[in-house]
């Protein structure tokens, strides 16, 4: 069968982007064809997969997305199944990695935000996927947001298809801890005995980088002097460098663009943190655990329960309070349980690796595509 994958932007450091490429390759192994439609592609071109790059112009992002969707669907005739990693009308299936947009808009935004054209466009795209009148199937990497979608749209249970988390062993092959500690510190010119917190993930505002900088600044002077915070991801760092400067911790904070050595950096960090405001899953949580590194996360992340259940670090409960997070941040710095947390997290991550080899999503798509084909054949004979 011939699959069309649609994603607004591809860059090699995004979790969703890596997932897309892995799923496409799993379909190739099973003799299916995959073509990708995107506005931009960073990194090497994939082998065996045709990539259609359709850049668009417009004053605002949502206007460019709107044009891109129209241009993409003008080229999808002849495909058996259309799979979208962003929300839009016309999809056979959608990869639901993001939280419910309209729920977040009502809980975290003002009335004025909800009358803007941008909100109305994104809300319409979400409704096109999750409405009870829609036929789009939903591949969900977490069911944490399912109640929100059903409350707003009445989405039927049968349309949700759960995908278990996937960690590829080859990506997280462990190396000697001392070697990785030295590697991280050499990469950023840190002292050998500096204590390093690592935050990874694109979209620093949603990932809670401000929370981490505030917690760093609240450390006692003696601890803060030898503490570093490294944030790696695709985003504009300006507001966070300004915050660090305002709080007097510029020398303690490093913000880097996305880079290919994230597993090595995770293994070399003293603590991996993910203080996200809201996260449907938070794959970096499991990736940090697979790197045998203690975790500090917020309970608003879908995968935070793995940290709690495995006793792999500390979880900041909701509702979030910065003072409480500051205490936990400092506790991670001084705790004698860091090795225990690291060991527990690694055991849990290894169990996840054994349970899902990365093919679950491709198998679901093949089944759904076959069901669509069968329904089409039945309709022809009616």
CATH of the domain at 344: 3.40.50.2000
Residue 256 has pLDDT above 70, yes or no: yes
Predicted confidence band of residue 280 (pLDDT cuts 50, 70, 90): confident
Residue 95 has pLDDT above 70, yes or no: yes
Q: What is the mean pLDDT of residues 217-234?
A: 96
Residue 204: predicted pLDDT: 95
Residue 24: how many other CB atoms lie within 10 Å: 23
Predicted confidence band of residue 382 (pLDDT cuts 50, 70, 90): low
Q: What is the mean pLDDT of residues 109-114?
A: 92
Same domain, 158 and 223: no
Give the residue numbers spanning the domain of 271.
169-355
Predicted confidence band of residue 6 (pLDDT cuts 50, 70, 90): very high
Residue 278 has pLDDT above 90, yes or no: no
Same domain, 74 and 185: no
* Range 333-340 contact pairs with CB under 8 angstroms and sequence separation of 24 or more: 333/195, 333/219, 333/223, 333/227, 333/271, 334/223, 337/294, 338/270, 338/271, 338/294, 340/311
Question: Taking every pair of C-alpha atoms in the chain, what is the biggest distance, in angstroms?
Answer: 78
Same domain, 36 and 18: yes
* Residue pointed to by tokens 């080859």: 170
Residue 80: predicted pLDDT: 97
Residue 116 has pLDDT above 90, yes or no: yes
Same domain, 79 and 134: yes
Residue 357: predicted pLDDT: 86
Same domain, 156 and 11: yes
Same domain, 229 and 290: yes
pLDDT in tens, 11-54: 988 889 989 999 999 999 999 999 999 999 998 999 999 999 99
Burial 94-128 (b: 16+ CB within 10 A, else e): bbbbbbbbbbbbeeeeeeeeeeeeebebbbebbbb
Same domain, 242 and 367: no
Residue 381 has pLDDT above 80, yes or no: no
Q: How far apart are CA 79 and CA 65, in angstroms?
A: 21
pLDDT in tens, 45-90: 999 999 999 999 999 999 999 999 999 999 999 999 999 999 999 9
Predicted confidence band of residue 233 (pLDDT cuts 50, 70, 90): very high
DSSP, collapsed to helix, strand or coil, labels residue 50 as strand
Same domain, 25 and 70: yes
Residue 190 has pLDDT above 90, yes or no: yes
Residue 267 has pLDDT above 70, yes or no: yes
Same domain, 178 and 104: no
The candidate with the shortest Cα–Cα distance to 372, out of 91, 37, 132, 149, is 91
Question: Comparing 367 with 173, which gets the higher pLDDT?
Answer: 367
Give the global pTM: 0.88
Q: How far apart are CA 124 and CA 314, in angstroms?
A: 38
Mean pLDDT rounded to a whole number for the chain? 95
The domain total for the chain is 2
Residue 213: predicted pLDDT: 98
pLDDT in tens, 129-163: 999 999 999 999 888 899 999 999 999 999 999 99
Q: How many angstroms separate the Cα of 352 from the Cα of each of 13, 39, 306?
A: 21, 33, 10
Residues 217/224, Cβ–Cβ less than 8 Å: yes
Residues 51/36, Cβ–Cβ less than 8 Å: yes
Close Cβ partners of 73 (under 8 Å, ≥ 6 residues apart): 90
Same domain, 221 and 136: no
Same domain, 345 and 279: yes
Could you give the percent of the chain with pLDDT greater than 90? 86
DSSP, collapsed to helix, strand or coil, labels residue 48 as coil
Same domain, 112 and 229: no
């Amino acid at each position: 069968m011939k699959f069309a994958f649609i994603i607004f932007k591809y860059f090699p450091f995004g979790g969703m982007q890596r997932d897309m490429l892995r799923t496409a390759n799993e379909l190739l192994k099973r003799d299916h064809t995959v073509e990708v439609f995107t506005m931009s592609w960073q990194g090497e071109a994939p082998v065996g997969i045709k990539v259609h790059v359709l850049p668009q112009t417009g004053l605002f992002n949502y206007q460019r997305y709107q044009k891109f969707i129209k241009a993409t669907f003008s080229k999808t005739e002849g495909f058996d199944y259309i799979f979208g990693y962003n929300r839009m009308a016309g999809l056979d299936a959608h990869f639901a990695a993001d939280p419910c947009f309209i729920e977040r808009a009502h809980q975290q935004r003002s009335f004025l935000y909800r009358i803007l054209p941008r909100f109305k466009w994104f809300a319409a795209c979400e409704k096109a996927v999750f409405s009870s009148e829609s036929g789009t199937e939903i591949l969900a990497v977490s069911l944490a947001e399912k109640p929100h979608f059903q409350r707003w749209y009445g989405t039927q249970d049968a349309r949700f298809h759960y995908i278990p988390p996937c960690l590829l062993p080859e990506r997280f092959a462990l190396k000697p801890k001392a070697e990785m500690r030295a590697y991280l510190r050499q990469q950023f010119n840190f002292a050998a005995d500096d204590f390093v917190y690592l935050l990874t993930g694109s979209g620093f505002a949603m990932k809670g980088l401000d929370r981490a900088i505030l917690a760093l600044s609240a450390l006692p002077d003696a601890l803060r002097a030898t503490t570093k915070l490294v944030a790696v991801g695709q985003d504009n760092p300006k507001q966070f460098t300004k915050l660090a400067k305002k709080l007097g911790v510029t020398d303690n904070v490093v913000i880097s663009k996305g880079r290919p050595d994230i597993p090595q950096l995770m293994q070399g960090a003293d603590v991996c943190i993910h203080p996200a405001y809201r996260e449907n899953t938070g794959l970096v949580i499991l990736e940090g655990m697979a790197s045998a590194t203690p975790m500090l996360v917020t309970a608003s992340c879908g995968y935070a329960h793995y940290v709690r259940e495995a006793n792999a670090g500390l979880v900041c409960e909701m509702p979030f309070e910065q003072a409480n997070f500051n205490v936990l941040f400092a506790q991670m710095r001084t705790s004698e349980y860091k090795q225990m947390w690291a060991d527990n997290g690694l055991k849990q991550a290894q169990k996840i690796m054994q349970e899902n080899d990365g093919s679950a999503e491709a198998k679901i798509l093949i089944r759904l595509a076959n069901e669509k084909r069968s329904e089409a054949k039945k309709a022809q004979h009616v």
